């Protein structure tokens, strides 16, 4: 049981995470426990939980990370989660130097510390994949790209572009964006049957060729103030549709993330990380 469980709390632009380090504290992973720890009323409260560092078979220099949503589900990737975990690794003394490699179920990400204290971090988020089979999206043949296709909701059709940046995303361009609209459409799209693994949802407003504004509904977390992988997905969708330059700023309610595409089309994500506190669960707490 989680008695005396030690944890660290961080946020990235208002997207907050707990870090639990299994090399420092015993943790019996269970979906119900993740839900209870992330509960803002009865637990610690967060938009997700990061478990690591874990050993990476065949790559002793890399740091393994598992990422959980507040509903207890596991995600393949998280942009803010990767930056937060990178800062944790530095603060905890697991990493010494200018960068590290973090391994999640979606693969290995190269991380660079742009500030020596880990407060500004860049992550190579890899190549976006727009093919239906990569997301997965079952509304098109697996080899076709999901670029501005209709998705039918009970309230009527919407036009979507969907992609994977390691985790699945669905991007809409409603003209202007609002939290209310993200909260209205988000849950319907997240659980649409054409997304068998569910999906993260972004509403995007193109401000100009170097700035986009997004509102986010996250799979397994709901409405959040910021999301790193969502920033990458929205930027990659805009680039693919010819709407932006190769360097742009993604504006979210919690703040901004900078995105740059390499010549090969890889997504470099840069953003801040704030350490909040370290704590221990009360010995008598029960999930
Ligand atoms: N809810 C996401 C994971 C967290 C993503 C987000 N917080 C980020 O910064 O990328 C998913 O299930 O794919």
Alpha carbons within 13 A on the beta-carbon side of 253: 16
| Ligand 1 neighbour 35 (Cβ under 6 A) | no
Per-residue confidence (pLDDT) for residue 262, from 0 to 100: 98
| Centre of ligand 1 from the C-alpha of residue 218, in Å | 6
Average pLDDT over all residues of the chain: 97
What is the location of CATH 3.10.310.10 in the chain? 6-125+273-280, 132-265
Distance separating alpha carbons of residues 189 and 179, to the nearest angstrom: 15
Per-residue confidence (pLDDT) for residue 2, from 0 to 100: 56
Instruction: Map the chain to HEC letters.
Output: CCCCCEEEEEEECCEEEEEECCCCCCCCCCHHHHHHHHCCCCCCCCCCEEEEEECCCCCCCCEEEEEECCCCCEECCCHHHHHHHHHHHHHCCCCCCCEEEEEECCEEEEEEECCCCCCEEEEECCCCECEHHHCCCCCCCCCCECCCEEEEECCEEEEEEEEECCCEEEEECCCCCCHHHHHHHHHHHHCCCCCCCCCEEEEEEEEECCEEEEEEEECCCEEECCCHHHHHHHHHHHHHCCCCCCEEEEEECCEEEEEEECCCCCEEEEEECEEEEEEECCCCCCC
Q: How many CB atoms lie within 10 A of CB 239?
A: 18
- Is the bond preceding residue 53 a cis peptide, omega within 30 degrees? yes
Per-residue confidence (pLDDT) for residue 287, from 0 to 100: 86
Tokens of 118: 């880990």
Residue 102 contacts residue 63 (beta carbons within 8 Å): yes
Comparing 32 with 1, which gets the higher pLDDT?
Answer: 32
Per-residue confidence (pLDDT) for residue 183, from 0 to 100: 98
| Ligand 1 neighbour 9 (Cβ under 6 A) | no
pLDDT per residue as tens digits for the range 43-98: 999 999 999 999 999 999 999 999 999 999 999 999 999 999 999 999 999 999 99
| Cα angle for residues 75, 153, 251 (degrees, 5° grid) | 55
Architecture of domain 132-265: Roll (3.10)
Of the candidates 162, 161, 125, which has an alpha carbon nearest to the alpha carbon of residue 258? 125
pLDDT per residue as tens digits for the range 93-122: 999 999 999 999 999 999 999 999 999 999
| Ligand 1 neighbour 69 (Cβ under 6 A) | yes
| Centre of ligand 1 from the C-alpha of residue 34, in Å | 15
Mutate to test the pocket of ligand 1, among 51, 68, 70, 77 (most ligand atoms within 8 A of CB): 77
Residue 46 contacts residue 55 (beta carbons within 8 Å): no
Q: Strand 107-113 vs strand 63-68: parallel, antiparallel, or unpaired?
A: unpaired
Distance separating alpha carbons of residues 138 and 162, to the nearest angstrom: 11
Comparing 1 with 48, which gets the higher pLDDT?
Answer: 48
Distance separating alpha carbons of residues 101 and 42, to the nearest angstrom: 34
Residue 228 contacts residue 10 (beta carbons within 8 Å): no
Q: Strand 49-54 vs strand 211-218: parallel, antiparallel, or unpaired?
A: unpaired
Q: Does 219 count as an annotated binding residue?
A: yes
> Is the pLDDT confidence value at 157 over 60?
yes
Query: What residue's CA is closest to ligand 1, atom 4?
Result: 78
CATH classification (class only), 6-125+273-280: alpha beta
Tokens of 100: 């590290």
Per-residue confidence (pLDDT) for residue 5, from 0 to 100: 94
Alpha carbons within 13 A on the beta-carbon side of 55: 3
pLDDT per residue as tens digits for the range 218-268: 999 999 999 999 999 999 999 999 999 999 999 999 999 999 999 999 999
| Ligand 1 neighbour 78 (Cβ under 6 A) | yes
Place of tokens 């407003």: 205
């Amino acid at each position: 049981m989680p008695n005396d469980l030690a944890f660290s709390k961080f946020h990235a632009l208002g997207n907050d995470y707990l870090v639990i380090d299994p090399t420092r504290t015993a943790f019996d992973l269970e979906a119900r426990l993740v839900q209870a720890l992330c509960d803002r009323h009865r637990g610690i409260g967060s938009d997700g939980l990061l478990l690591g560092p874990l050993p990476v078979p065949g790559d002793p220099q890399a740091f393994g990370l598992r990422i959980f949503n507040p509903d207890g589900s596991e995600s393949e990737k998280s942009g803010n989660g990767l930056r937060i975990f990178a800062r944790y690794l530095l603060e905890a003394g697991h990493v010494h130097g200018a960068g590290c490699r973090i391994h999640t179920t979606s693969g290995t990400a190269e991380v660079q510390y742009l500030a020596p204290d880990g407060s500004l971090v860049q992550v190579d988020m890899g190549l976006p994949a727009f093919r239906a089979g990569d997301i997965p999206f079952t509304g098109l043949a697996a080899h076709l790209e999901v670029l501005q296709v209709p998705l039918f909701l009970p309230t009527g059709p919407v036009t979507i572009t969907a992609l994977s940046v390691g985790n699945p995303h669905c991007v809409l361009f409603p003209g202007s964006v609002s939290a209310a609209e993200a909260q209205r459409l988000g849950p319907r799209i997240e659980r649409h049957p054409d997304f068998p693994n569910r999906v993260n949802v972004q509403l995007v407003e193109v401000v100009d060729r170097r700035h986009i504004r997004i509102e986010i509904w996250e799979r397994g977390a709901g409405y959040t103030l910021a999301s790193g992988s969502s920033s990458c997905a929205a930027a990659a969708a805009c680039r693919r549709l010819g709407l932006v330059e190769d360097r742009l700023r993604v504006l979210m309610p919690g703040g901004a993330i900078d995105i740059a595409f390499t010549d090969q089309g890889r997504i470099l994500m840069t953003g801040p990380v704030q350490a909040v506190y370290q704590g221990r669960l009360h010995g008598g707490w029960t999930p």
